[in-house]
A = this chain, B = another copy of it.
Amino acid sequence: MSSSDRILNAAVLGATGTVGQRFIVLLARHPMFRIHSLGASERSAGKVYTDATKWKMSDIMPEEVKAMVVKPCDPAHYAGCDVVFSGLDAAVAGDIEKAFFEAEFAVFSNAKNYRMVEDVPLCVPVVNTDHYQLVAHQRKSLNLQKGFIVTNSNCSTSGLVVPLKALQDKFGAISRVIVTTLQSISGAGYPGVASLDILDNIVPLISGEEPKMEAEVKKILGGINSDLSACAPLTDMRVSATCNRVAVIDGHTECVSVEFAGKPPSVEEVKQCLREYTCEAQELGCFSAPKHVIHVTDEPDRPQPRLDRNNGEGMSVTVGRIRECPVFHIKFTLLVHNTVLGAAGASILNAEYAAKKGFV
């Protein structure tokens, strides 16, 4: 029996935080996962979830977790879990996630700590599931049977790589990308951005975000080396990112200019390419894979966060304003739901994929 035919027990680490809450909302209505364990810091451990958490989702807290007792983030307490989702803060994620995958758990992490490790898949599940090939090397080098870690990307990266992947597959190498983001406040967690900083205002810096984007894009759009032991990030692509925080609750908007290494496509060819893009997770029938990976809009004033962030249940990237760039070749504006495809949703689809492919 393939693991994709059975219900998998899922743990959520960092369950009281905003990413953890989003994991819980998505898992509670998921046909394949059952929420088995909730882990959080020592301060929360031992409390009933409803007491440990300041719930900030607009979806009501699922009944099934209300009375669950929060556990400490120690693998000893997670016997029976098939997959472990980590919404932990980077400050603690490194040690805790290591403890879990070394204890033979399948870890799907939203934290940044292991993203750039060369045999860790940095996987946007509608883009580069081929990077799962690194798992074998990971296990071998750590002498593990079942344990491994797969990370998803930074939220703004996850939006950007989707159309770039489609374009690269169809029209060949992309030589230069300049991207400016307008990122929502939910990306900063809770309490996160102070209201005095964002009402009638913009914060033109998101600390550490720009180098993350610039590096992650090259890893995700790159390949795997020949012995499947390490990723091989793109070396000929140059990426420049500028990241801003704006007064939007959910949904990162990104304005992108793209230069192709070879003959550039026309605007119509780009539109068609993006519309036709599909991924392996769709072909496998993964539950969370969106019907359309990319939602292309021809309306001149879209995408808009409030109207488009839930396209494909938050798992689609919406691309609009596709037009010629007077400096590079093509420019467009994209929108990604930062806490769904940009965070918890990506981890969950990564886990679905892993199950379908027998990694779990």
**Contact A200/B244 with A178-B327, A180-B255, A327-B177 known, Cβ cut-off 8 Å:** no
User: Which residues of chain A from 291 to 333 have any CB-CB distance to chain B below 8 Å in the complex?
Assistant: 300-307, 310-311, 320-321, 325-328, 331, 333
Instruction: Kindly report which residue of chain B lies nearest to residue A310, judged by CB atoms.
Output: B58
Tell me which residues across on chain B come within 8 A of A145, comparing CB atoms: none
Tell me which residues across on chain B come within 8 A of A214, comparing CB atoms: 326
Cα of A198 to Cα of B247 in the assembled complex, Å: 9
A46-84 contact mask (Cβ, 8 Å, vs B): 1 or 0: 000000000111101000000000000000000000000
Tell me which residues across on chain B come within 8 A of A304, comparing CB atoms: 197, 201-204
Cα of A326 to Cα of B217 in the assembled complex, Å: 14
Q: Are B182 and A246 in contact (CB under 8 A)?
A: yes
Tell me the number of copies of this protein. Answer: 4
Cα of A306 to Cα of B257 in the assembled complex, Å: 28
Q: Are A190 and B194 in contact (CB under 8 A)?
A: yes
Cα of A192 to Cα of B197 in the assembled complex, Å: 10
User: Which residues of chain A from 12 to 34 have any CB-CB distance to chain B below 8 Å in the complex?
Assistant: 18
Q: Are A60 and B311 in contact (CB under 8 A)?
A: yes
Tell me which residues across on chain B come within 8 A of A177, comparing CB atoms: 327
Give A206 Cβ to nearest chain B Cβ, in Å: 9
Q: Are B247 and A199 in contact (CB under 8 A)?
A: yes
Cα of A39 to Cα of B204 in the assembled complex, Å: 31
Q: Are A196 and B255 in contact (CB under 8 A)?
A: no
> Would you call A7 an interface residue if the criterion is a C-beta within 8 Å of the partner chain's C-beta atoms?
no
Contact residues on A (Cβ < 8 Å of other chain), bracket: 35 or more
> Would you call A279 an interface residue if the criterion is a C-beta within 8 Å of the partner chain's C-beta atoms?
no
Q: Which of A194, A238, A240, A310 lies at the interface centre, i.e. has the most chain B CB atoms within 10 A of its CB?
A: A194
Q: Are B203 and A301 in contact (CB under 8 A)?
A: yes
Tell me which residues across on chain B come within 8 A of A249, comparing CB atoms: 196, 199-200, 306
> Would you call A205 an interface residue if the criterion is a C-beta within 8 Å of the partner chain's C-beta atoms?
yes
> Would you call A234 an interface residue if the criterion is a C-beta within 8 Å of the partner chain's C-beta atoms?
no
**Contact A205/B246 with A185-B195, A239-B327 known, Cβ cut-off 8 Å:** no
Cα of A173 to Cα of B208 in the assembled complex, Å: 32
> Would you call A144 an interface residue if the criterion is a C-beta within 8 Å of the partner chain's C-beta atoms?
no
**Contact A238/B204 with A194-B190, A194-B192 known, Cβ cut-off 8 Å:** no
Q: Are B195 and A194 in contact (CB under 8 A)?
A: yes
Tell me which residues across on chain B come within 8 A of A204, comparing CB atoms: 253, 255, 301-304, 320-321, 333
Contacts A57-B307, A201-B306 known; 8 new A-B pairs at CB < 8 A: A185-B199, A192-B196, A194-B194, A200-B305, A201-B307, A202-B253, A240-B327, A240-B331
